[in-house]
Every structure is written in structure tokens, then in C-alpha cells.
Structure 1
Amino acid sequence: MSQNDSDYIGWAEQSARQAVLHDFTHPDNWRVLVETKLLAGDDSGIRAVLVELFSVLGRDPDSLNQLEGVDMSEMGSEILEASLGADPLDPDAWWEITNGSDGGVDGFCSRLRILDLRDIRANVLFSRRLERLRDSGYEDEFLELSKLVLAHRPNNHETWGELGRMHERRGEFDNAWMCYDQAQLHFPEIPARDRFIERMESKMDDNTSASWNTPAIDSRVEFLSRMQSLAGHPISSVQETHAEDEGVLPLNEVDVLLREERLTEAFFLARRMAAEGIEGAIEKVEEIRSML
């Protein structure tokens, strides 16, 4: 391979990598990236791309260990195509396969309950798949599983907004407000909570809706506690009582979770404390939000 060829392949590989970063849902971007690795004779690079794709698809990257010793220059493209064919990145293509197979929806729901969706791309991908379930009438599954997705990645403001709209349409206004509140916290450029309040006030002014007030503190605390529980293992009341007896500051509990790298649990706990009016909790929420 000449120096010019090597330079060209290096440039092509960088361009392909940028394309995947820009749009990870387009299968051709992954194909081109693997092709550049093949041209460069980079077996370890091909394996790394497949590991990355497996993470996006919610699969266990360690399953590639079963292919240890396999010549990726021979099998890499085949493994890629098999993965994309069985588990399409396009949500409409995925839904066509899932909805058309016996037990497809139940299998998907069961699988999602045990997945690690902290990878932002996997989180977005599965959120879009859940929207296909919702649009096909699986509303209860959407409500349950969207909360699981958000427990893994609470800064997914789009899913908070979709969840809020579902609750609003069902007349579950307190839940709608709490979802819109989360959406606006993570993406204040779209004031989802404020717009919802305006809609509710307009309905009351037109006498088309009963009187409604924003959720009480107890309701907000309960909601955030449930989200913390979904994110992991909430601190028990026994631990909280012990902390109070020892004179430990409440925010120290958040710091313990942060040291253990349990960011989503720490986030929901800090938000709960902010709702309870604990001093310093709002600042702690912002600190954690920048880490998500």
C-alpha cells in the first residue's frame, strides 16, 4: 500500500467515524466504517466497531468473545449485516419485524427490562422503538418501559416530553406535569412544563376542565423516589434514620452514590431533596446534570 493510499484510507476512516457520530441510526454509516477498517487491514478496529454497534443495540458486547480467533477481515462484514438484519436501527423496519413475529412484542418488553441503556445512543434508539409500540396501541407498555429508559438516562428530554403528552392525553395531569418538569429541566430551550401550565389555565378559563393545581410536594417526592428506585437501589428509611442519628448531612447520601458512579440514582435523590427544600440540593442537581 502506498503512502497516498494509506493517507486516503485514513481520511476515509475519519469521515466514516464522523458519519456514525452524526447519525448512528443510518446502517450505511456503519457499513462504510467497517469497509474502511477492512481496507486498512485493521482486524481489531473491525471488532471495536462491532462492539460499539452491539452496545447501541442493547446487546452484550462480551458476546463477541465467542468469536475470539475469528478472522474479522473474512467475517466482520457478515457479522455486521447479520446484526443489522436481525435488529434494524431504523425504528419502522424494526417494528415491522417485531410486530410480525410471534411473541415479538412480549419478547422485546422482557428484554428491555434487563438491558443497560446508559449509552445515550441505545437510550434514544429504544425510546424510538417504544414510540412505535405506543402508536400501535401498547400504551401501558410504553408508560412502564419509558420510565425504565429514563431511569437509565434521565437527560433524555424528548422521552420525558413524549411521556408527558401521553399522561396529558389520558387526563393524568399530575404525572404529565412531573414529566414535563423533567423535560424542561434538561432542555430549558423548550419550556414544556410552562406550556402545559398555560394549556391547563386556558382550559380552566374556558370552563372546559375542572380546577387543577401543580402537584403537591409529597406527590413530587413520591414520583422522584420511584424513579430513583427504578434507577437502582434507593437508600432505605433505616439508612436515612441512621444518617440523621449520626448527624450526617442529607446531601452526603448523594455524594456516596456519586462516588460509586451511580449517577442516575444520585440525580433523582438530589431532585427529591430539592423538592423537599433541602439546602444545597438545587445546586447539587445542576452539578449532577452536567455529568450525565
Structure 2
Amino acid sequence: MPFKDISFLKNMKQAKLINVGFSKDEKWVIDDTYLLRISPQKSADLIVFQEKYLRKINEETSFVPKVYDAGSFQGKAYLVLDYMTGSDMEVALPHFPLAKQYALGKSVGACYRVIHQIPVDQEDQYNWKERMLKKYVNLKGRLQAIVGEDLQYLNLLSFIESQFDLLENRSVAICHHDLHPRNVLIHQEAFAGLIDWEKLTLEDPYTDFQKTEFFTVPISKCYARGLFDGYFLGQEIPTEFWLLHRFYVAMLLISSKVWAHEACPSEIAFFDERIKDVLVQWDDFTLACPKWYDVSKSASHF
């Protein structure tokens, strides 16, 4: 078998390739028990870093695949994890009543709260505001080359530039960085796990919600609301969160526009439509809270 040179898998009997999504990592299901993730474009140091923090998560929750092994195979970094089974939440959600969708979202949000509270090693801390400023400067020039003098995007850039003071003294936490329903598993009508941690990084924890309007709200507003409410344990969501979430969503819009044009032109129409929808939800970022959350409704409505 192809991976028997990996010591942990020396007794393996079968391997099945998983070929879904945009990831450049190879994913193999080994004996229906383990997931082998081979990362040709990631350094061994990055895999060791991700292994370290996945193990920290494993100590706090069983909703994230357990790590068994990490190393290098044929010059490529790899991780061996639990192969978690279940249906992805995107497929399952439309089949449930609104109250169930909301409850599932709360369960996922509560799990993320646990993960975000796991301490980050001191040597891995860094200045978050500086990192985001560099990212913005890099994106701005590339975006302007695409959109020219499009007033909507010029206004979006102006809005982003007016918000950077929000990032002062923000600490970083363990983040999935790709939170959307396809990366959440459900089994026997219950939340079963968070998968696809290949983008694990350390960022402001609130960035983990930046894709909500893009990929979650179109599937289920009730689930999305539950996600936020569960994260804050059913309490009123702080103003600070909404301000930062609005900023991170705006940043996501410009990075998505750039990514689609530079890396995946076939998806430009899809991303343009989603960007338009998000701008409507936030009324071009003039609202304090997105329309989909609908603060006029209490959680008991669901």
C-alpha cells in the first residue's frame, strides 16, 4: 500500500482519496478510521505548529479530530487524524425545522467558544493590528487593479481604513479560519464535529465568523443566529463584537474579490453575487448589526 512507509500506518489495508473542495492538500481515508492529510505546499514547521494546537484542542473537546501522527512523507508534510463521519451541515440543515436549525447553531457556537479560550503559547503571540494593516495594504493595490474607480469598492476601502483602531490590543486565539456549514458534521440529528482544520492559525477569534454572511446565512439564517448566540452563551451580543465582525466581513469582501480574479476566474460571478448580497445585509456597512440577525426577534421565536 502507498503509505506503509509512514510508521503509524504500517499495518494499513486500504486508502481512499477524498477529492472535494478548493484545498490543495491531499486527503486519504485510511481503513475507514484515519484521515491522512498530505500538504505539498506547507512546510514541516507549519504542520508541527498545527499539530501542537490541534492537540491542545483535543484536550478540551471531542468535537475536533484527534491527532495521531505528523511528519514528512516523500518530501511532503503530513498529519494523521481521526476520520470523523457524519453528514455535512449544509446538506442537513434544510431538512430540519427552524428551531432545530437554531439549536444546532448554538451547539457549534458554544464549541467555538471553548476553542477560542484555549491559551496560546507566549512565543506564538504577535501584534494583530500590524498583521492586518500589512494584509490590507497588500490587498488594496491588487483590488484597485481589478475594480478601478468603482465607487462601491472605493467606499468599502474608505470604510475599512476608518476602522483599524478597533484592532488595538486585540489578542489572538486558535482559529479554524474556514468556518462554514460544509466543515461541520451532524450525526443522528446532533452536532458531531468540526473538520478540515488545514487552515488552522492564530488570529483574533472573531475572524472565525467572517464567512457567516457569505456561506452560512444563504443556507440558514436560524443556524447562523444560533451560532452567534451559542458563542455568547445566550447573552446579549456585545457591541464590540458587532463592530469587529463588520470590519472583518468588509475585509473578507475585498480579499474574496481579489482571490476570485487571481486564483479562480470561473467563480467570479458567484463571488460577485455573494458580495452584493452581503453589502445589502449590512446596507453598505452603515448598519451596526446585519439585517439577517434580526435583533427584534428573541431566541424564543425559534
Q: Mark yes or no: TM-score above 0.5.
A: no
Q: How high is the TM-score relative to the length of structure 2?
A: 0.28
Q: Which has the bigger relative contact order, CA under 8 A and spacing at least 6? A: 2
Q: Give the structure with the higher percent strand.
A: 2
Q: How high is the TM-score relative to the length of structure 1?
A: 0.29
Larger radius of gyration: 1
